Structure 1
Amino acid sequence: MSSKAKLKAPVAAKKPVELIKHADVRVDPYFWLKERDSEEVLKYLQEENAYNEQMTEHTKVLQENLFQEMKGRIKEDDSSVPYKKNGYWYITRYEVGKNYPIYSRKKETLVTAEEIMFDCNVEAKGFEYFKMAGISVSPDNKLVAYGIDTVSRRNYTIRIKNLETGEIYPETIENTTGGCTWASDSKTLFYTRKDEETLRSDTVFRHQLGTPSTTDVEIYKEEDDTFNVFVYKTKSEKYIVIGSMSTLTSEYRILEADNPKGDFRVFQERIRGVEYGIAHYDTRFFILTNIDGATNFKLMETPEAHTESSYWKDLIPHREDTLIEDVDIFKEYLVISERNNGLNKINIKRWDGTEDYYLPFDNETYTAYVSTNPEFDTTILRYSYNSLITPNSVIDFDMKTKQKEVKKEQEVLDPNFSKDNYHSERVWATAKDGTKIPISLVYRKDLQRDGTNPLLQYGYGSYGSTIDPYFSSVRLSLLDRGFIYAIAHIRGSEYLGREWYEQGKLLQKMNTFTDFIDCSKYLIAEKYTSNQHLYAMGGSAGGLLMGAVMNMAPELYNGVVAAVPFVDVVTTMLDESIPLTTGEYDEWGNPNESEYYFYMKQYSPYDQVKPQQYPNILITTGYHDSQVQYWEPAKWVAKLRELKTDTNLLLFHTNMDAGHGGASGRFDALKEVAEEYAFLLDLEGIKG
């Protein structure tokens, strides 16, 4: 450590800028780091990357070993379970040594010749980053539209390929979300375009095959900058749907897919605070909604000719103890995805009312979800199941006979792996306000609970997004070296229903951070670990969580990993030119209102950095990140370097070729995980 101590950490120049709001003055000495592509900014980021390289040089062998170990557990020549749609079986597969997927299809049966639609390994040549998205085959099966992003700003160019001749048509549609929807004529496409500055998806266009995109017709423009728009086709194939959605409010427009030049009609006008989603079947629409105070949502139905809410009738009423998350519609069955006491449930009902049952699941640390089911006239439901100790399975369940067939179980290519080597459990910590907070845990069975075990506590806790207890072959590299892995199901997610989310947002956001801290205290008190061996990890809004808990309770953690962290909350939420900002007011509050401004300032990690001791810290970001701009973590690191009073590690790595999701190749992404794991293992003195 002595040689590393001699290395000098980069020092960012201080150029104080006064930021004044509500008569409150914040002085930001590192505001200049927002100057994307300036020589001074690039120089600072490169210095930080060089410092990180030097400080972690001694872990390079460990990183490579971890990478090879994690890669070695993954079946390289893998393929998805085929699914059938409109006469074709669709398959995604990978080949040995290749980073990107191959998308293919087979006509009618799985024994017919394979048609390769796209080999992304070929498409990605010459690009540091490559992502294909929104693959959409025309109803006549002859054409495919798709989106390409080679920058990692989630800004896609749509192209069209002839699947019979292999020709890629000359027309290109820039600045889109990547997805698009075909009308029934296989000649008309609907797609969503983004605002060039904010990247908000705000306009739906209609494109006619064979015409330049400059002649595309604007169908709908969303003027409210807190909403995003999207377009899709109902499973019944009858309707094109334009959705317009903010955090708390939704609105839809519908048009018959065989009348692409017709006028969309509003399904139900937006009502502030009312969320709804729609599905079509026969002559009815089904509406999943929170209308009339249905906090955990209810399912309603209405005739397709009368879609206003005054016609909606309850089909599955609201329940205080059960959140309805989604519905899937089949010719004979309705499938409801629910969450009760934190656990996934799949409810199957026959339309004629003769059957109503749940799929059986038997523990408290599993994840089950309805998978890809594009076919309408079938009794087969495809779903997936895994747990903290059980690899993922794709299962076809016959809803009529109740027979199930495991179509595929994830292979873990490690001769020493057996789920019998591990134990998982769910425990409940008590928050400072008396609320019980669930924690999912997994560790090796031979581990002794004596307070000396390293433990990695993971959390997110925003947007109602729930981190379910899922299997990870990558995580085995920690478990097999003595780590306990914990997921803290803190408020701000929907783990315990919609109210769980409501209690962790806006003016109750502080609950998210104190819940995480109280989970840490519980795990220490119960001798799962100690503060000398406790580590915390989170990304994006989970990076905000990391920043807040480090400011509030740094003494609890030996190390923290914050990936693409959203940490400059107040300044970002005051800048309406930044992607996502205005659409986030319902999550964090609008700091143009003083009540939200001062509450937000209390937890904003960048604003709350102070002279104190901090844990060892690894912070990662992507230079092209469109979700959390690179300068947030860069400023945070600079301020931490200036104010922290300890000699613990502070490492910062900017991937200059990537964005919010990190590297695009399936194995390149593992190198980033190996970097994070090596950081943790090195702090524990684990060398191999």
Structure 2
Amino acid sequence: MTTDAIPTVPPVAARAPIVRSHHGDDVEDAYEWFRAKEDAAVIAHLEAENAYTKERTAHLEGLRARIFDEIKGRTLETDLSVPSRHGGWWYYGRTLEGKQYGIQCRAPLAAVEDWTPPELSPDVTVPGEQVLLDGNVEAEGHEFFSLGSFEVTNDGTRMLYGVDVAGDERYTVRVRDLATGEQLVDEIPGTFAGATFSPDGRSIVYTTVDDAWRPDTVWLHELGTPVADDVKLFHEPDERYWVGAGFTRSDRYLVIGIGSSITSEEWLVDAGDLRAEPRVVWPRVEGVEYDSSHAVIDGEDVLFILHNDGALDFELVRVAASDPSGARQTVIPHRAGERLLGVSTFRDWGVVGYRRGGLPRIGMLDYADGSVSEIEFDEPLYAVGTGGNPEWAPPLLRLGYGSFVTPGTVYDYEIATGELLLRKRQPVLGGYEPADYAQARVWAMAQDGVQIPISLVWKQSFGDAGAAPRALHLYGYGSYEHSIEPGFSVPRLSELDRGVIFAVAHVRGGGEMGRQWYEDGKMLHKRNTFTDFVDCALHLIDSGYTTADRMVAEGGSAGGLLMGAVANLSPELFAGILADVPFVDALTTILDPSLPLTVIEWDEWGDPLHNADVYAYMKSYSPYENVRTDAEYPRILAVTSLNDTRVLYVEPAKWVARLREVGADALLKCEMVAGHGGVSGRYNAWKERAFELAWLLDVVGSTD
């Protein structure tokens, strides 16, 4: 569907060709000048693009307002999260009607033996409640606000929090005395996310980044001392590796983790002597990934290590913490196609996460015999994971659960009985009934004969999916072994209730079907990601779910690269393409090691700077490089943010300019104060999603 009239002409970007030369190949780029972020001409161009997009979508203002009101009307705006026990307190979050940001609170335990979280009500005062951090107060005077760190000491006396007010993911860490409300003198600027207190509460461990935005150094700050005196605990000089640090749940060790896309290494520091020399768990070996979790069994410190050394889908072993490189005891052997994802250890038992049949699973690990008992759920599609389990010896395990039709649900799994205790299900106002909707999984045949899973959700009052062609929204990602889970979404109801089918193409490059699924969609196999998506679209058309003139594709970040690639491969299959913070100038970016993330990304995409074959392969699919003059492109909306440090705004800006050269109907929306995750604040986020969904519904003709 196209708009009846184009009310204005799009911005015409000035061409200032430069030549990029690699491996004997000269490439002319007319829009690389967009990279000069401080140039007034660049800002003027982005503002002109925003003005053009605003005018082109003005006819959707009423629909946007209705969708926003639908999201707002289905959301219990004043609400509380399920409390999580830590030390002598229950910790939880509040949201208040009309307020953009959450409020972090706590209330004292009623008794030491109390493990059942209190049932809190938004309109009832909680005895002894303390407001720890009100994001609305902290955000005053700022267009953007994000928390990258938030933690309270084990004794509950102090709190740290890291704030970003630009969207560039550089956080300033501050400390507050919770008894007096006083801000301490400690203020640490320029940190990465994830600062944490030492177990004794006297120090802060944090990381900083290099010029390429890579977290590379771990620091120790003693409270009350100048930041200039902070101690460097660890530095990783290799630009392929990110560094992070955190304490084991047992508080026995500080674990410093170093990782690239394909290799990892861990170092342990005794939590009682943080200035001691770190000792390596396993020395890094190229291509071997592992992570460890500490436990105490029969009085011995042990490490459970999940690794892929000779085990594609990983295996779990147990070693002595005093000699990690010594004898290994296999706990869970490698099983091809059943991807082990992680292990969490508690005093008396462990928890294992894994994937089987394209779905995440949770199993309880018995330390005595290494057996795993899976926690079962009765829906055909669902997502489940652990969360909110800070205590070392709880009788309960906190789980988060949901599906396409079941709103986000919090359970406590009772260890002694195996019972799932429902603590809360996300309220959805306005008469939502899960039975009004249906979900299913179908399979598409890829060009090479591989079966690609597709997840579907639809409203049943419009008939069974596939009974007659309908508008369809096809989402994809397919990189970094990241799996798109069948989770619930309130904004999605606004399209389902207008008859749109929502589908996810679980293409190769993701992790849905095991590690080989990922390996077959990266590096010199990356094209599988794109052709899989095209084959899923063809299957949905051929099977009668939709038609090409009523299907919109969406993807973000690396999924935005997917969008750009399929726009070039098969533009005729889609009525529209929605690309969020899209990685569409991939070759230019990955050729420049000075840009954020580039060097570490070579393990995902290949190194085109030093390898002519990788260069040629990436050039063959990079969307910006391959915009076609012989194609009629679908309508395209690209959304980006000026302060994004992961996928720079310059990529979608250049892409849209190139698309316009060949007559494509392409729009660019650039948030001028935001980062990779878009705008901050829940109401702002709802408005942003309403903007995107209104555009999508206009494209597929389902605006009623």
TM (norm. structure 1) is: 0.97
Instruction: Note if contact 1:146-1:179 (Cα within 8 Å) is conserved in structure 2.
Output: no
Q: Give the Cα separation in 2 of the matches to 1:254 and 1:541.
A: 33
Q: Give the Cα separation in 2 of the matches to 1:673 and 1:430.
A: 32
Q: Give the Cα separation in 2 of the matches to 1:43 and 1:356.
A: 59
> Per the alignment, in what secondary structure is the counterpart of residue 309 of structure 2?
helix
> Per the alignment, in what secondary structure is the counterpart of residue 578 of structure 2?
strand
In angstroms, what is the RMSD of aligned CA positions? 1.5
The reply to whether residue 329 of structure 1 matches residue 345 of structure 2 is: yes
Alignment of 1:374-385 (within 5 A): 374-385=390-401
Alignment of 1:345-494 (within 5 A): 345-353=361-369, 356-415=372-431, 417-448=432-463, 449-494=466-511
Q: Give the Cα separation in 1 of the matches to 2:305 and 2:383.
A: 22
The reply to whether residue 68 of structure 1 matches residue 74 of structure 2 is: no
The amino acid of 2:624's aligned partner reads: Y
Q: Give the match for residue 14 of structure 1.
A: 15
Q: How many residues end up aligned between the 2 structures? A: 682
Give the superposition deviation at 1:184: 3.4
Q: Give the Cα separation in 2 of the matches to 1:324 and 1:545.
A: 27
Instruction: Note if contact 1:135-1:145 (Cα within 8 Å) is conserved in structure 2.
Output: yes
Q: Give the match for residue 684 of structure 2.
A: 668
Q: Alpha-carbon deviations, 1:431-455, whole Å to 9, x = none?
A: 0000000000011113343553100
Alignment of 1:228-627 (within 5 A): 228-282=242-296, 283-308=300-325, 310-353=326-369, 356-415=372-431, 417-448=432-463, 449-592=466-609, 593-611=611-629, 612-627=631-646
Q: Give the match for residue 53 of structure 2.
A: 52
Q: Give the Cα separation in 2 of the matches to 1:2 and 1:587.
A: 40
The amino acid of 1:116's aligned partner reads: V
Q: Give the Cα separation in 1 of the matches to 2:614 and 2:435.
A: 49
Q: Alpha-carbon deviations, 1:292-337, whole Å to 9, x = none?
A: 31111111111111012x4332111111131111112222222211
> Per the alignment, in what secondary structure is the counterpart of residue 311 of structure 1?
coil
Instruction: Note if contact 2:571-2:632 (Cα within 8 Å) is conserved in structure 1.
Output: yes
Give the superposition deviation at 1:379: 2.5
The amino acid of 1:255's aligned partner reads: V
The amino acid of 2:490's aligned partner reads: S
The amino acid of 1:23's aligned partner reads: G
Runs of 4+ in structure 1 over 6 Å off: none
664-673 or 108-117: bigger deviation:
108-117
Quickly say closer, same or farther: Cα 1:171–1:348, change in 2 above 3 A: closer
Q: Give the match for residue 144 of structure 1.
A: 159
Give the superposition deviation at 1:579: 1.0
Q: Give the Cα separation in 2 of the matches to 1:215 and 1:539.
A: 41
- Counterpart of 1:166 (choices 156, 173, 181) is 181
> Per the alignment, in what secondary structure is the counterpart of residue 321 of structure 1?
coil
Give the superposition deviation at 1:469: 0.8
Quickly say closer, same or farther: Cα 1:2–1:115, change in 2 above 3 A: closer
> Per the alignment, in what secondary structure is the counterpart of residue 84 of structure 1?
strand
> Per the alignment, in what secondary structure is the counterpart of residue 170 of structure 1?
strand
The amino acid of 2:68's aligned partner reads: F
The amino acid of 1:550's aligned partner reads: A
Q: Give the Cα separation in 2 of the matches to 1:144 and 1:452.
A: 55
Q: Give the match for residue 115 of structure 1.
A: 130
Quickly say closer, same or farther: Cα 1:231–1:394, change in 2 above 3 A: same
The amino acid of 1:653's aligned partner reads: K
The amino acid of 1:623's aligned partner reads: L
312-321 or 514-523: bigger deviation:
312-321
Give the superposition deviation at 1:182: 2.3
Q: Give the match for residue 698 of structure 2.
A: 682
Quickly say closer, same or farther: Cα 1:478–1:265, change in 2 above 3 A: same
Instruction: Note if contact 1:321-1:497 (Cα within 8 Å) is conserved in structure 2.
Output: yes
TM (norm. structure 2) is: 0.95
Q: Give the Cα separation in 1 of the matches to 2:452 and 2:518.
A: 13
Quickly say closer, same or farther: Cα 1:287–1:272, change in 2 above 3 A: farther
Q: Give the Cα separation in 1 of the matches to 2:151 and 2:587.
A: 39
Q: Give the Cα separation in 1 of the matches to 2:57 and 2:595.
A: 33
> Per the alignment, in what secondary structure is the counterpart of residue 518 of structure 2?
helix
Q: Give the Cα separation in 2 of the matches to 1:86 and 1:566.
A: 44
- Counterpart of 2:148 (choices 128, 133, 139) is 133
Q: Give the Cα separation in 2 of the matches to 1:107 and 1:319.
A: 45
Q: Alpha-carbon deviations, 1:242-286, whole Å to 9, x = none?
A: 111111111111111111222211222111111111110113333
Q: Give the match for residue 94 of structure 1.
A: 95
Instruction: Note if contact 2:208-2:218 (Cα within 8 Å) is conserved in structure 1.
Output: yes
Give the superposition deviation at 1:59: 0.6
Q: Alpha-carbon deviations, 1:449-473, whole Å to 9, x = none?
A: 3553100000000000000111111
Q: Give the match for residue 115 of structure 2.
A: none
Instruction: Note if contact 2:149-2:196 (Cα within 8 Å) is conserved in structure 1.
Output: no
Instruction: Note if contact 1:276-1:287 (Cα within 8 Å) is conserved in structure 2.
Output: no
Q: Give the Cα separation in 1 of the matches to 2:690 and 2:207.
A: 37
Instruction: Note if contact 1:288-1:326 (Cα within 8 Å) is conserved in structure 2.
Output: no
Give the superposition deviation at 1:650: 1.5
Quickly say closer, same or farther: Cα 1:14–1:186, change in 2 above 3 A: same
Give the superposition deviation at 1:610: 1.6
49-58 or 329-338: bigger deviation:
329-338
The reply to whether residue 180 of structure 1 matches residue 195 of structure 2 is: yes
Give the superposition deviation at 1:140: 2.8
The amino acid of 2:315's aligned partner reads: K
Instruction: Note if contact 1:146-1:178 (Cα within 8 Å) is conserved in structure 2.
Output: no
Quickly say closer, same or farther: Cα 1:292–1:684, change in 2 above 3 A: closer
Q: Alpha-carbon deviations, 1:603-638, whole Å to 9, x = none?
A: 100001121210011110001001100000000000
Q: Give the Cα separation in 2 of the matches to 1:613 and 1:351.
A: 61
The amino acid of 2:180's aligned partner reads: T
Instruction: Note if contact 2:306-2:343 (Cα within 8 Å) is conserved in structure 1.
Output: no
Instruction: Note if contact 2:199-2:271 (Cα within 8 Å) is conserved in structure 1.
Output: yes
Q: Alpha-carbon deviations, 1:107-129, whole Å to 9, x = none?
A: 22356401111011111000000
Give the superposition deviation at 1:584: 0.6
Give the superposition deviation at 1:97: 0.9
Q: Alpha-carbon deviations, 1:187-217, whole Å to 9, x = none?
A: 222110111x311101111111111211111
> Per the alignment, in what secondary structure is the counterpart of residue 55 of structure 2?
helix
The reply to whether residue 656 of structure 1 matches residue 672 of structure 2 is: yes
> Per the alignment, in what secondary structure is the counterpart of residue 169 of structure 2?
coil
Q: Give the Cα separation in 2 of the matches to 1:194 and 1:213.
A: 16
> Per the alignment, in what secondary structure is the counterpart of residue 524 of structure 1?
helix
Give the superposition deviation at 1:103: 0.5
> Per the alignment, in what secondary structure is the counterpart of residue 674 of structure 2?
coil
Q: Give the Cα separation in 2 of the matches to 1:139 and 1:419.
A: 40
> Per the alignment, in what secondary structure is the counterpart of residue 536 of structure 2?
helix
Instruction: Note if contact 1:324-1:337 (Cα within 8 Å) is conserved in structure 2.
Output: yes
Quickly say closer, same or farther: Cα 1:171–1:379, change in 2 above 3 A: closer
The reply to whether residue 633 of structure 1 matches residue 634 of structure 2 is: no
Q: Give the Cα separation in 2 of the matches to 1:660 and 1:163.
A: 32
Instruction: Note if contact 2:552-2:699 (Cα within 8 Å) is conserved in structure 1.
Output: no
Give the superposition deviation at 1:159: 0.9
Q: Give the Cα separation in 1 of the matches to 2:385 and 2:551.
A: 31
Q: Give the Cα separation in 1 of the matches to 2:240 and 2:95.
A: 39
The amino acid of 2:653's aligned partner reads: A
Q: Give the Cα separation in 1 of the matches to 2:681 and 2:358.
A: 33
Q: Give the Cα separation in 2 of the matches to 1:152 and 1:608.
A: 31
